[in-house]
Amino acid sequence: MQVLEVTSVPTTQKLKTGILLVNLGTPDSPSVPDVRKYLREFLMDGRVIDIPTPNRWALVNLIIAPFRAPKSAKVYQELWEERGSPLKFYGEDVKALLQQRLGSDYVVELAMRYQNPSIQAGLDSFQKAGLRKIIVIPFFPQYASATTGSVYEKVMDIVGKWQVIPEISFTNTFFDHPKFVEFFAGAARKYMQEREYDFFLFSYHGVPERQILKGDATGTTCQLNNCCDRLHSGNQYCYRAQCFATTRLLVQELGLKEGTYATSFQSRLGKTPWIQPYTEDMVVKLAKEGKKNVLAFSPAFVADCLETTIEVGEEYKEVFEKNGGQHWQLVESLNNSPQYIDLLADLVEKQV
């Protein structure tokens, strides 16, 4: 009888774990063609604009890409820094810092769901490296089908075609991670020591209402804008409910008083209803009610980007001041902070 000798994996070469950090994406440059290319890829994702493909194709290619691209490009030009788009260069910093923190047993790659560097390139490099395991960390604190769901789908599409599918795990959410809460609370306290704020606004990226309804697999739990005041088994993956839970954790950590804070949703696109209340309405209402000093948070984003720096930090500030408000301050995001690296290292440790 032939005896097959089973040897353990070589001890001289320790097998590594691949960490794929994935953010949403940003244009390669703020030029109109690059912005148009980015918008096309992004908005043709059926999880982002969830309407039948021919309708989405027409909407994106005949309306959004031609008309929105030049306007968006102008805003991206304002946002652009020497190192490029903040969303991407903060991601590059985080990749390098996390690699340093985790050491040589890990290979850390950064990918963007849309544009570059691509998820395909990151996973290709992992495939060639013969890794023991892959850990995918989407950079979205709350779960949304359009973000975390889309990253999962893309990764599974690619890896699903491999002959050998290695062990793979995904981070789902981290809005309730103590380090996430501590970071935003700490960043806010800096501003609260400098002046007194009479209101605290937690503004999250919005999604269409229908995407929230479709996320209710029971078909009986979601009452749209009226059921997100606690998380339970029926709504645990509801984006809106997770955003409200994020606000509650921050309110508790900062000891904010009832009546001095609110949650709202920004960046609506199109005419169909998105989750409410809308940030723009909220800002006008606050200013008209006589609120003078507002501290604004954007805790759906890990890196400052168009949606935080420009939309919350500049556009809503302008709306607030135009309607009688005096002082508007945006709390920065995790960016490349040591606290974010600690948080990510912790997410990795939980999955090895």
Ligand X SMILES: C=CC1=C(C)c2cc3[nH]c(cc4nc(cc5[nH]c(cc1n2)c(C)c5CCC(=O)O)C(CCC(=O)O)=C4C)c(C)c3C=C
Contact footprint for ligand X (CB under 6 A):
24, 26, 39, 48-49, 68, 72, 85, 87, 140, 144, 146-147, 205, 207, 211, 267, 269, 300-301, 305-307
How do beta strands 327-330 and 133-138 pair? unpaired
Minimum distance of Fe ion from residue 281's CB (angstroms): 19
Integer Cα distance of 325 and 319 in angstroms: 9
Q: Binding site annotation covers 205? A: yes
CB nearer Fe ion, residue 135 or residue 238 = 238
Minimum distance of Fe ion from residue 307's CB (angstroms): 6
- Pick one of ligand X, Fe ion, none as the site partner of residue 201 (Cβ within 5 to 8 A by kind): none
- Pick one of ligand X, Fe ion, none as the site partner of residue 297 (Cβ within 5 to 8 A by kind): none
Residues 265 and 281: beta-carbon distance below 8 Å: no
Integer Cα distance of 52 and 23 in angstroms: 26
In this structure, what are the phi and psi dihedrals at residue 289, rounded to the nearest 5 degrees?
-75, -10
Minimum distance of ligand X from residue 38's CB (angstroms): 7
Minimum distance of ligand X from residue 15's CB (angstroms): 33
Instruction: Tally helices (H) and strands (E) across the chain.
Output: 12, 8
- Pick one of ligand X, Fe ion, none as the site partner of residue 238 (Cβ within 5 to 8 A by kind): Fe ion
Q: Binding site annotation covers 307? A: yes
Minimum distance of ligand X from residue 34's CB (angstroms): 11
- Pick one of Fe ion, ligand X, none as the site partner of residue 144 (Cβ within 5 to 8 A by kind): ligand X
CB nearer ligand X, residue 146 or residue 344 = 146
DSSP per residue over 204-247, as a string?
EE--BHHHHHHT-TTSSS--GGGS-SS--TTTTT-HHHHHHHHH
CB nearer ligand X, residue 268 or residue 291 = 268
Among 236, 130, 256, smallest CA distance to 192 is for 256
Tell me the residue number closest to ligand X, measured at CB: 305
DSSP state of 176: T
CB nearer Fe ion, residue 110 or residue 227 = 227
Integer Cα distance of 222 and 287 in angstroms: 31
How do beta strands 199-205 and 293-297 pair? parallel
CB nearer ligand X, residue 18 or residue 91 = 91
Summarize the annotated binding site as residue ranges: 205, 307
Summarize the annotated binding site for Fe(2+) as residue ranges: 205, 307
